[in-house]
């Protein structure tokens, strides 16, 4: 237990305000304990000269009678923040589209860990700026962020135990301390280490990396949750968000939820939401990732699905990679061509396959509800039918050779993998969602 009652890996109470500067493109204020940091970003048109940085950074710390110490700290911390910015922004004319951002970070009160708090405020303001520019210019390549990022400070008051988020008193007592910034993929953007003129070993480095990396990943999720305002339901209103922009897919669930008084929303109702990258290796992981991330942000129930084609002769491929089987760009014709090529020498009786669907229903503070279903078929040798998309023209569903693309929309909705999953979901979703109210 620390002198202030915190556990070793507990950070101070944190309050976050976003978009709190009227004329800024992006802004944030973080009060972490008694450390208070503001960040505001403004944009201007500029003629990009060769190798010109797409940003300008100003970093200030309120001196409070320690001017010389603050000047040295400002210089070191500004370098750290510039490293984060440089590693995060794609510094090319195409990515900035003639825009330059001016970043101002002001530490109103430094009671410890101010650089980590400043970095986190920078992420919030920068992400808002990117979203604002993308909406204004209808160009998502404007100053693009590859990954969310965050920061944490770790201090050792003894060689054995790393402490998270030290305040100023703990910083003065520390024998080693480090601030690190990582992106969501776990890549290090910047690292600042102070050994207080003492020798240190691999144990201290490992303690910083292991503890700090875990803390930063948790920090990133908290920061992302504070970027967007939770959806406020009106009195008596019940809503479920379907994690799709496809209104046709959303309509498949409208009857299921509507008869129990739930209003259906889609991602089109929340255009400011970040895109959730499908980084899972299974259908269930991807479906949960989408549902849980959005439910945490909006604080309402969210249904997400992940679907794909599994071919037995290919060991279950393309599986979760169905949409990009032939490459990063989603292309139905290329995917079908690659599938036929991979099955060139496979006889008809071994071309069995399944369309798979996993549905994940997530809600705040609840364990996610998962259901799965499959539609059995086999892979034909030539595409047939005009009613489907994706692999439908190759997916043979009947003995007479009928493909999914030759079925009517009504027939497909009655027989598909998603239809079967919805039937399973119908049996227990209401008890799962409303049972906690009893």
**pLDDT at position 282:** 94
Q: How far apart are CA 27 and CA 345, in angstroms?
A: 59
pLDDT for res 336 = 95
306: annotated active-site residue = yes
* Contact status, residue 154 vs residue 163, Cβ threshold 8 Å: yes
Binding residues: 244-249, 277, 306-307, 389-392, 412, 417-418
**What is the reported pLDDT for 236?**
76
Task: Read off the tokens for 225.
Answer: 């949750």
Binding residues for substrate: 244-249, 307, 389-392, 412, 417-418
For residue 143, the model assigns a pLDDT of: 54
Decide: 166 and 177 in contact? Cβ < 8 Å.
yes
Q: How confident is the model at residue 26 (pLDDT cuts 50, 70, 90)?
A: confident
Residue predicted with more confidence, 120 or 437: 120
Average pLDDT, the chain: 86
Mean pLDDT across 353-369: 93
pLDDT by residue (tens digit) across 304-327?
A: 999 999 999 999 999 999 998 998
Please state the length of the chain: 438
Q: Which parts are annotated binding residues for Mg(2+)?
A: 277, 306
Q: Please state, in angstroms and as integers, the Cα–Cα distance from residue 106 to each residue in 53, 177, 191, following that order.
A: 21, 22, 20
Q: How high is the pLDDT of residue 137?
A: 54
Using an 8 Å Cβ cutoff, are 355 and 403 in contact?
Answer: no
Tens-place pLDDT, residues 165-223 = 999 999 999 988 999 999 988 999 999 998 888 887 888 788 889 898 999 999 998 89
User: Domain 14-225 maps to which CATH number in 3.30.565.10, 3.40.50.150, 3.30.230.70, 3.30.360.10?
Assistant: 3.30.230.70
Instruction: Give yes or no for residue 71 having a pLDDT over 90.
Output: no
Strand ranges in 302-421 using DSSP code E only, listed in sequence order: 302-311, 352-362, 369-379, 395-396
Q: How far is CA 14 from CA 28, 32, 37, 150, 319, in A?
A: 13, 4, 11, 14, 41
- What 8-state DSSP symbol labels residue 311? E
Dihedral over Cα of 372, 245, 389, 324: its sign = negative
CB contact set of 346 (below 8 Å; sequence gap of 6+): 313
Active-site option among 306, 332, 348, 400: 306
Region 292-298 average pLDDT: 84
Of residues 99 and 64, more confidently modeled: 99
Top-level CATH class of 241-437?
alpha beta
Q: What is the pLDDT of residue 296?
A: 79
* CB atoms closer than 10 angstroms to residue 222: 14
Q: What is the pLDDT of residue 141?
A: 46
pLDDT of amino acid 436 = 46
Kindly list the domain boundaries of the chain, sorted by start residue: 14-225, 241-437
| Minimum mean pLDDT range among 61-70, 157-166, 237-246, 305-314 | 61-70
Closest CA to 151 of 101, 110, 187, 117: 117
pLDDT at 227 exceeding the cut of 90: no
Residues 98-107: what's their mean pLDDT? 87
Question: Which tens digits make up the pLDDT trace of 124-149?
Answer: 999 888 776 765 554 444 456 778 89
Instruction: State the pairing for strand pair 239-242/263-266.
Output: parallel
Residue 417: how many CB atoms within 10 A of its CB? Answer: 23
Question: What value does the mean pLDDT take over residues 340-361?
Answer: 96
Helical segments of 272-371, H only:
283-298, 332-342
């Amino acid at each position: 237990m620390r002198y202030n009652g915190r556990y070793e890996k507990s950070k101070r109470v944190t309050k976050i305000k976003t978009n709190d500067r009227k004329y800024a493109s992006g802004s944030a204020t973080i009060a972490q304990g008694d450390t208070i940091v503001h960040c505001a970003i403004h944009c201007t048109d500029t003629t990009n000269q060769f190798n010109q940085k797409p940003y300008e950074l100003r970093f200030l710390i309120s001196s409070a009678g320690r001017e010389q110490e603050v000047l040295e700290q400002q210089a070191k911390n500004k370098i750290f923040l510039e490293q984060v910015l440089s590693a995060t922004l794609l510094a090319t004319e195409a990515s900035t589209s003639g825009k330059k951002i001016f970043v101002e970070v002001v530490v109103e009160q430094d009671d410890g860990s101010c650089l980590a708090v400043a970095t986190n405020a920078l992420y919030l303001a920068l992400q808002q700026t990117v979203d604002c520019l993308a909406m204004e210019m209808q160009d998502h390549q404007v100053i693009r962020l590859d990954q969310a990022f965050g920061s944490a400070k770790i201090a050792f008051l003894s060689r054995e135990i790393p402490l998270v988020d030290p305040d100023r008193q703990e910083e003065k007592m520390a024998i080693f301390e480090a601030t690190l910034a990582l992106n969501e993929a776990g890549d290090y953007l910047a690292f600042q280490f102070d050994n207080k003129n003492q020798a240190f070993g691999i144990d201290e480095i490992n303690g910083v990396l292991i503890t700090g990396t875990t803390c930063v990943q948790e920090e990133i999720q908290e920061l992302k949750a504070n970027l967007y305002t939770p959806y406020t339901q009106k009195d008596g209103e019940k809503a479920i968000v379907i994690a799709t922009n496809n209104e046709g897919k959303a309509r498949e669930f409208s009857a299921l939820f509507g008869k129990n008084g739930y209003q259906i929303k889609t991602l089109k109702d929340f255009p400011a939401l970040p895109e959730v990258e499908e980084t899972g290796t299974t259908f269930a992981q991807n479906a949960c990732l989408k549902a849980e991330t959005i439910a945490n942000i909006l604080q309402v129930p969210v249904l997400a699905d992940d679907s794909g084609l599994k071919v037995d002769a290919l060991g279950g491929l393309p599986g979760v990679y169905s949409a990009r089987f032939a490459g990063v760009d989603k292309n139905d014709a290329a995917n079908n061509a690659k599938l036929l090529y991979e099955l060139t020498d496979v006889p008809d009786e071994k071309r069995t396959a399944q369309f798979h669907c996993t549905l994940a229903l997530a809600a705040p503070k609840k364990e996610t509800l998962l259901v799965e279903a499959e539609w059995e078929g086999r892979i034909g040798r030539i595409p047939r039918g005009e009613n489907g998309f994706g692999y439908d023209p190759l997916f043979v569903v009947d003995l007479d050779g009928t493909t999914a693309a030759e079925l009517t929309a009504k027939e497909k909705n009655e027989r598909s993998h998603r239809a079967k999953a919805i039937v399973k979901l119908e049996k227990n979703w209401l008890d799962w969602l409303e049972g906690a109210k009893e």
